[in-house]
Chain A
């Protein structure tokens, strides 16, 4: 089975910019992996921020954006806020049928 990799932890200053990445052991991540990004705060269910690489939900703050960068999926946070401190997970789809693999998650600290 494919392994999806994320940075275990990252720190960003308030108002700063940070990019989280999501790589695949099978090679470059493409739009065909339909990358998703989720935010999870302690004790809460995940919230979907980004789907299909770069699409946002109505509740996704404008400071979050999704893209493909250097063979990986990327989540960029521009203008970090204290409330953005959370765990972030990516999800990639493999094969013709919808089979998903999550990355191990990135713990983002805003400090």
Chain B
């Protein structure tokens, strides 16, 4: 079936970077954009950006520009989201979701903890 698989958790120190993966299966990978959304503990959802897996074009939320990079590996049907210069405020659950069909599929989320 159609699914997006994300690793469960990552821990980083302040100032480090984290590269999260989102592996797609059950559909043609290049046909649907992937968006990244995060949610800090007890807070709302925050849109981070999106990538077109076909050509690799990206759009990032202004807040994250300069600090986020979204890439894809079509041979592995996987998109990546790298966030650099991590701060404690980046502690959150990071979700990927498939667009183009009404954001019908979501990954289970990766919990990123930024702590010294």
B106 on interface, CB distance cutoff 8 Å: yes
User: Is B56 in contact with chain A by the CB < 8 A criterion?
Assistant: no
Q: Judge whether A23 is part of the interface by a CB distance below 8 angstroms.
A: no
Q: Name A89's contact: one of B44, B61, B104 (CB within 8 Å).
A: B44
Complex-state Cα separation, A48 to B104, whole angstroms? 6
Contact A99 B59 (CB under 8 A): yes
Given A45-B109, A89-B44, A105-B44, A98 contacting B59 (CB threshold 8 A): yes
The answer, yes or no, to whether A46 is at the interface (CB within 8 Å) is yes
Instruction: For A89, list chain B residues within 8 Å (CB).
Output: 44-45
Question: A: which residues have CB within 8 A of B?
Answer: 1, 36, 38, 40, 45-48, 51-52, 55, 57, 87, 89, 91, 97-105
Q: Once the chains bind, are A46 and B59 in contact (CB under 8 Å)? A: no
A51 touches B103 (CB 8 A): yes
B45:A102 contact, CB within 8 angstroms: yes
Residues in chain B within 8 A of chain A (CB atoms)? 33, 35, 37, 44-47, 50, 59, 61-63, 95, 97, 99, 102-104, 106-109
With A51-B103, A55-B102, A98-B50 already in contact, the answer to whether A46 and B62 are too (CB < 8 A) is no
Additional A-B contact list (11), CB under 8 Å, known A36-B103, A46-B37: A1-B62, A45-B106, A45-B107, A45-B108, A46-B45, A47-B106, A52-B102, A57-B104, A98-B50, A98-B99, A102-B37
Distance of B49 from chain A, by nearest CB (Å) = 8
Smallest CB–CB gap between B69 and chain A, Å?
Answer: 17
Q: Within the assembled complex, what's the spacing in Å between the Cα atoms of A36 and B106?
A: 14
B59 contacts A104, CB within 8 Å?
A: no
A108 to chain B, nearest CB (A): 14
Chain B residue, CB-CB nearest to A51: B102
